[in-house]
Structures are given as C-alpha cells and as structure tokens.
Amino acid sequence: MSQIWMQAVRSLTQKHQTASEERRRVVAGITGVIALASAGFPRQVSAKAAEPFALPRLVASAKDSSALVSLASFKGKWIYLDFWASWCTPCRLSFPWMQKMHARYQPKGLEIVAICLDRDADKGRQFLAREASEFTVLWDQQADTAKRYGVAAMPSSYLIDPKGLLLSGHAGFTPAIARKLEAEFEKLLG
C-alpha cells in the first residue's frame, strides 16, 4: 500500500512541477510581450499609403461644423495619429504631451489627430473634460480604423508624412518615448 501511495505522490508532484513550469513560461511570455509593447520605440514601417478614414469629432463645436473629418483633410501636413481610450493609463500621460507638441509644432505643419476607441462616446468625453486638447479628437466606435492600422496596444501612434505615407509607428507612452518623438519632430519640423 505504501508503494502505491509513494507513486501517487510522485505523480502528483511531477504534474504540479509541470504545471508550475508552464505557468512560469506563460508569465514570462506575457511579460516579454508587455515589455516589447511598453518599450514602444518607434518602429519603421515600409513607406506605404496611410489607411484613409472619415470619422466624427468626439466633441462637436460650432467652429468645427463638418460632420466627418478625413485623413485627406490634412493633406500636405505632417500627422501624428494617436489611438487611445479613456481606460488607458498611459493615454492619460500622453494627452498633456500631445497638447504641448500641438502648441509647439502645429504652426510648423504638424497636426495631432487622436482617435478615441471607446465604444461609449461619453466615456471619451469625460476623459477630455479632464484633459485639455486643442488638437483634433475623433471617435471610432467600432475601432475599424484601428484594425486597419494594426493597433495592438494602447496608445498606439503613427507618423504620416505630408504625402500621406505612413513612416513609423509605436506602441505605449513613456517619458523615453516622448523624448524620442520630440527629437524626431524637431528633426523633421525644426
């Protein structure tokens, strides 16, 4: 009887060790993916035409009377296209930075365009009530534009040149990412 008991204990121990190793591998894999996404360093993409869009403003105003805003409406300008959501913590950090970049580089030809991916527009509006934003903020309820751009993390941003070519993209937002992007803007727009 004790021999059967010992075999059962060994078998359970092996199963527990295998399950623990599998959990460690899964956690390590998830940690790696998060680290890559949060590193967010701009990645070069082959210069291809940016995906077109036509979306409503998240907050309409009397001075912005057009029903939809399209990518084509920014033709001839540099575009920093940012995908965000109200629940995204790094997005809360990126909005003041985008406002600062808008104030500094919009006169030099950079347009900041932020696309809210919240299904509920009111959540996005509540976020904007806390964050000053003089740049263009649009709403994509079904996240169709985000799917076409391959957005996999929040926030995700793309740099589009005046010819409408997608030049680079990054995921996440940290002070290090902000410094790299500011250096890129300065190089492009002086």
Query: How do the domains of the chain map onto residue ranges?
Result: 1-39, 43-189
Distance set, CA 63 to CA 57, 60, 112, 150 (Å): 12, 8, 18, 32
Distance set, CA 80 to CA 3, 20, 157 (Å): 69, 44, 7
Q: How many Å apart are CA 86 and CA 125, to the nearest integer?
A: 9
pLDDT tens for each residue of 6-43: 565 455 445 545 544 444 443 333 333 333 344 444 55
- Average pLDDT score over residue span 158-166: 96
The residue that leads in pLDDT, 190 or 178, is 178
Q: Under 8 Å CB-to-CB from 16, ≥6 apart: which residues? A: none
Looking only at the bridges linking them, the beta strands covering 136-139 and 78-84 are unpaired
Output phi, psi for 77, to 5 deg: -120, 155
Question: Which CATH number is 43-189's, of 3.40.50.1980, 3.40.630.40, 3.40.50.11540, 3.40.30.10?
Answer: 3.40.30.10
Q: How many Å apart are CA 105 and CA 119, to the nearest integer?
A: 30
Q: How many Å apart are CA 79 and CA 161, to the nearest integer?
A: 7
pLDDT tens for each residue of 101-140: 999 999 999 999 999 999 999 999 999 999 889 999 999 9
